[in-house]
Amino acid sequence: MSIGPPGKTDAGTGPHGIDPTERELRVQLAACYRIFDHLGWTEMIFNHVTVRLPGPENHLLINPFGLLYHEVTASNLVRIDLDGKVVEPGDWPVNPAGVIIHTAIHSSRPDAHCVMHTHTTAGSAVACLRDGLSPDNFYSAQLAGQLAYHDFEGVTVYPDECGRLVKNLADKNIMILRNHGLLTTGRTIPDAFLRLWLLQRACEIQLAAQRSGQTLTAVTAQAHRRSSAGMRAVQDSGGGAREVFEAMQRLIERKDPDYRR
């Protein structure tokens, strides 16, 4: 079947009372959770992907706390406000730690319509390294100059950390939470997904190369500039992100279209 681009009505009109745009975002976000599950980017019932709904309320969609990623569907996603309060009755609560990180970024960055946070093994391992992500592989070179860091302050449940996290992120869309995990933002779910995929691949390749015990070949400053500039141009144009996400969504559609429910 065909998965249409954002703005089309492939997602359908959904249940009575659900705006078609919201319905489409719900389907896309549910697909994203299933894609994370397929890729192994899961941490039991923890970690989150959030997306901002259109409208003056600045409401967000987040996964229900208690469900595994392969159990997330369009209809069981939870609508919350920027204070992390559930604004529609439902069967599931939300995770306070997830609310703290995501609402802080959504509140301070109007352009960050989607926020993704993971604790993958490779991502968390690189986050524990003193020097963080090395810029010396194909994927990390593309992220040169685009990466922010935030120091570990403990489990993220204290609101006073929000200001420091937002200050460290500044205007960047990719962050390593030291001793913790990975985070990306985007204008759309596909934008944030492609950034996270690049960051995850960069971490995986760095760790694999370091395990060899051999001296790594450094990437030149010129190669960093060219790689990063090329990726920025792709990201600014929106090229690639939608196509990558739609390809993964087709894979999920073939595995189990139940996510649309």
Are 47 and 98 in contact by the 8 Å Cβ rule? The answer is yes
Q: What kind and span of H or E run contains 197? A: helix 189-211
Higher pLDDT, 2 or 148: 148
Q: For 101-157, what is each residue's pLDDT tens digit?
A: 999 999 999 999 999 999 999 999 999 999 999 999 999 999 999 999 999 999 988
Are 177 and 104 in contact by the 8 Å Cβ rule? The answer is no
Q: Which band of pLDDT confidence, cut at 50, 70 and 90, is reported for residue 96?
A: confident
**DSSP for 86-149?**
B-S--S----HHHHHHHHHHHHH-TT--EEEEE--HHHHHHHHSTT-S-S-SHHHHHTTT-EEE
Higher pLDDT, 30 or 239: 30
Residue 13 has pLDDT above 70, yes or no: no
Averaged pLDDT, 248-260 = 97
The tokens describing 259, both together, are 């996510």
Give the residues across from 174 on adjacent strands: 147, 184
Q: What was the pLDDT predicted at 181? A: 98
Higher pLDDT, 192 or 17: 192
Are 176 and 202 in contact by the 8 Å Cβ rule? The answer is no
pTM here?
Answer: 0.91
Which of these, 112, 75, 111, lies nearest to 92 by C-alpha position? 75
Q: Sheet containing 78-80: which strands, arranged edge to edge?
A: 78-80, 60-62, 48-52, 114-118, 181-186, 174-177, 147-150
Instruction: Name the one residue in this structure whose structure tokens are 């051999």.
Output: 214
Residue 193 has pLDDT above 90, yes or no: yes
The tokens describing 116, both together, are 């993704």
Residue 37 has pLDDT above 50, yes or no: yes
